[in-house]
Structure 1
Amino acid sequence: MTHVSMPADLRHVAERAKGFMPSNEGQALFETAYTYGSLGPICEIGTYCGKSAIYLGAAARQVGSVVFTVDHHRGSEEIQPGWAHHDPTLMDPRFGKMDSLPFFRAAIAKAGLEEEVIAVVGRSETVARYWNTRLAMLFIDGGHSEGPVTSDYEGWAPHVMVGGALVFHDIYPDPADGGQAPLRVFERALASGDFKEVAAEGSLRVLQRVGFSA
């Protein structure tokens, strides 16, 4: 991995945006995007309010890449009403549904990254079905139950180019620390033989498609 500091102004915006990405993991995400972004576009599955997209977009700007971030913006299971991570300020009273899209747009505008970060609004599995562009980096951080993580991996991992990166968030070897679905899919990716682990920071895991050394 390339060790490079994220610009202080963008790091400041990222750290204050709504989201669940610790700053050390955000820096690692930035470094990963910086390392692989020059090979092609970056794709994030699970936008929420744009926190991680700022880390990705900051790197994309420096290496001349772009970030596509895919989300239906109605919230994953764990942030719905009655769940531990629910944020009532994201509820749209007109429809009785979550809507994180306005918060994402405000965060990206505040960061000045509207040219580098492109929102794709829709269900991950639907977008994946019609996606045809090779990816230099794929970051899976959408729904964290078994179905969504599996679907994101199966739908998007085949698009990662040889030498590109597949990145998972919320990998917890100890069940006491968090859900196990992302860990199981991460282990499946390793067992496939298509990827090798090249970096880890907190709950972030970076895999590289076999055949290239970054």
Structure 2
Amino acid sequence: MSQAVRVTDLLAAARAASGFMPDDEGRALYEAARDVPVPGPLLEVGSWMGKSALYLAAAARETGRRVVTVDHHRGSEEHQPGWEYHDPSLVDPAVGRIDTLPRFRRTIAEAGAEDVVVAVVARSETLAPLWSTPLALLFLDGSHTEESARRDQDAWVAKLAVGGTLAIHDVFPDPADGGQAPYGVYRRVLASGEFEELPDTGSLRLLRRTT
């Protein structure tokens, strides 16, 4: 099977996978990861059941990189009982808590992406102090509370290489369209003067690190 077919299959698997990323945003994420001009891995904060990881995996397959996904797989606030996106089928009855890791692993395995996706089961702020490799692309899509979004920003943005790409999902300037925590990350990053904006797609914002 040719590399082009494998990449096409990964993109098709990404479109079909369960998750919250529209295909136009997923394709934009894939293209940003494919085209990033500096060496290094691709790192995703917040993986849910693996949909966005497959878009990144397609780029990694095409360019010879690896994708590292960081998620505790216990779900964000909105996934807990009584909240809007709670799915009882994801609760592990042995511990009574959300556990998306089995679904994530199945998504990656069924797509044939286990060779390019490295899953780390941990909170992002726990892994970050142990991480020293400059990142080519950082995708922030973790919990969307103000506290956790700031924590992810503080933990990981400084690890992005100059020339690398920062991707932020669910950025909604209008509060009527969605939560404001990712938008706050986007505004703070821009205000730092260390990034320039790239074309956006839907709620996905892309920025290139310049200094």
Normalising to structure 2: TM-score of the pair? 0.95
CA distance in 2, matches of 1:106, 1:179: 30
Tell me the residue number matched to 1:198. Answer: 198
Of all paired residues, the percent bearing the same amino acid is 54
Measured after TM superposition, the shift of residue 38 of structure 1 is 5.9
Instruction: Report which stretch shifted further, 36-45 or 141-150.
Output: 36-45
Do 2:44 and 2:67's aligned partners in 1 also have CA atoms closer than 8 Å?
Answer: yes
Indicate the RMSD between aligned Cα atoms, in angstroms. 1.6
Q: Write the letter of the residue equivalent to 1:208.
A: R
CA distance in 2, matches of 1:192, 1:172: 20
1:82 aligns with 2:87: no
CA distance in 2, matches of 1:5, 1:209: 32
The CA deviation string for residues 47-94 of structure 1, in whole angstroms up to 9 with x for no partner, is 110000000001101000000000000011111111111122111111
Runs of 4+ in 1 over 4 A off after TM superposition: none
CA distance in 1, matches of 2:5, 2:174: 30
Instruction: Report which stretch shifted further, 38-47 or 6-15.
Output: 6-15
Q: Write the letter of the residue equivalent to 2:190.
A: L
Alignment of 1:1-214 (within 5 A): 7-36=7-36, 39-211=39-211
Where does the alignment leave 5 or more consecutive residues of structure 2 unmatched?
none
Do 2:38 and 2:161's aligned partners in 1 also have CA atoms closer than 8 Å?
Answer: no
Do 1:140 and 1:168's aligned partners in 2 also have CA atoms closer than 8 Å?
Answer: yes
Where does the alignment leave 5 or more consecutive residues of structure 1 unmatched?
none
The CA deviation string for residues 143-186 of structure 1, in whole angstroms up to 9 with x for no partner, is 00101110001000000000001110000011111000110111
CA distance in 1, matches of 2:134, 2:115: 20
Give the secondary structure class of the aligned counterpart of 1:106: helix
Normalising to structure 1: TM-score of the pair? 0.93
CA distance in 1, matches of 2:164, 2:111: 26
Q: Write the letter of the residue equivalent to 1:168.
A: I
